Structure 1
């Protein structure tokens, strides 16, 4: 019930362009045919995404749905038991205890829930940093996704530009590994980088600046008794390819109908083990694609860079090379090969899920 406001507000785009040095090597169209209900892609700031979700929760509350949003509540301790989960919650008015049949931990990459249960991630932390800047400007750039490899304004690195609502443009600039993050975020250092990219005559204002380091990691298990992990609390990928929030929504789609059946007593608790199996498969698929994108964008050896640059050169004239270019494989639905829920008919028939 909150998709349409997001589409209405979001910036729609289909075309992406890839540049190498100062020349365009090819472009692609994510939605080459007409007649789809939804656009191929929208760009939308996270604060709008969250606002529309909260608005939908408020609507459901007015319709009598048993949902509560408890602001300024912080879980300080968790106790796991065979039949339930206990929580200690701190608030400005004082602490209170809560008992739940099930706990879904969606508390982000730094998940306090994960830490309180003594659990951790496994995976890679990539040795690279990206400057991310939202700038407000009036520009003639088309509504497309532009990605540069080794551009003149950021030699030896990469860059990304795309449009967001309200005249805001998102810019990503690769900085390398050995940097002073706090220094690089200062306006006096950010603005010259953006002027080199956009042009000295382009007027813009900084709205937000941050620096992130790639991480591709996941928990070894997403289900721990009656505690179920989802979203960034369960897995992390690099931002290229829009695999982060998308995979969190896929977790939700996978988990909620199963948990409902278990709570209604129409399915055994073991059904939730399929959530663990299927979404670990989904996370591994995202991590594989995300790692490949990161390795292509930031080659880790001279030979890798030679191969990457050769692919980019060839892609300008030869179509066979274009699928090899990897500036972020875009998120697609996950196929659950090997799921215990796949029957023999599903595995052998034309409509395998």
Structure 2
């Protein structure tokens, strides 16, 4: 209990300093340069928060706030899974605005995630936390996005697997599969973990449908409401970025698309810069996954590989720099040592964070 209290206090302190620092930067940018939103429903957050705070709900955040308030009434909103909006609506019942509720959920989830990191990775946790919070897209962890919530769910799931509390792990996986599509991959990790025990405990197989309850429930809702259980896939093309709606795009095709961008788009444009970032994060993810393949449990390895490859089937890597936040703790766990290389990396990463957050605050899509 004493350890938990200490970790809670230190995690609260770290997140407070991190969030206040980024909020101060956002305040300066908005007042100095203003906001030029390139996404819909900006008025929804301005009605609930000052522009200097509203930056935390740019882009997808507006959709989550609209879902929390009105539900699935528009075509395209089906791309966003229901757990996070439902939590926002629940917190709103306390009197908080939808915006405040969404950000509070994200920040609480982030604090709890830091605590879980200590229990999962021990002494390596401090460096992992530093890398995570200074990663160029880490600001999404404090935004009205699912990043922090899904990170918490993933960490809790693997912590429970480590403790062989399979039923609780299945329940967490169920919530995760209702938070993001990639959460369904946790059921695969669960199967890998229980496989050696199935001869003597066949009832463990019942845990697999439990782990998929979130996804299956959402699919049933989509079927009953919109007559399309896969609507979350079929509406993807509405969000641009080269995403397909139902057609599976193979990885070589995706790589070809990126090299085509490099050959046809000016290096001075934001589109070119985003493409470089997206492909670099994807390739770095594969490289670090190769490095740790024998140092992490197979259940984790399967999940990491699936999480890297699943987004590519849409034909784009556009959100991968954001999705990579969830994978970072395991990808860097074997190299989590403080040395000159780590210092250099953190310095470069922090520079990238300042740049991408500045663009995001101004209303530019970065991931």
Q: TM-score range by the shorter chain?
A: under 0.3
Which structure has more RCO (C-alpha within 8 Å, separation ≥ 6)? 2
Using the size of structure 1 for normalisation, the TM-score is 0.26
Q: Rg larger in 1 or in 2? A: 1
Bigger helix fraction: 2
Q: TM-score, normalised by structure 2?
A: 0.25
Answer 1 or 2: which has greater strand percent. 1
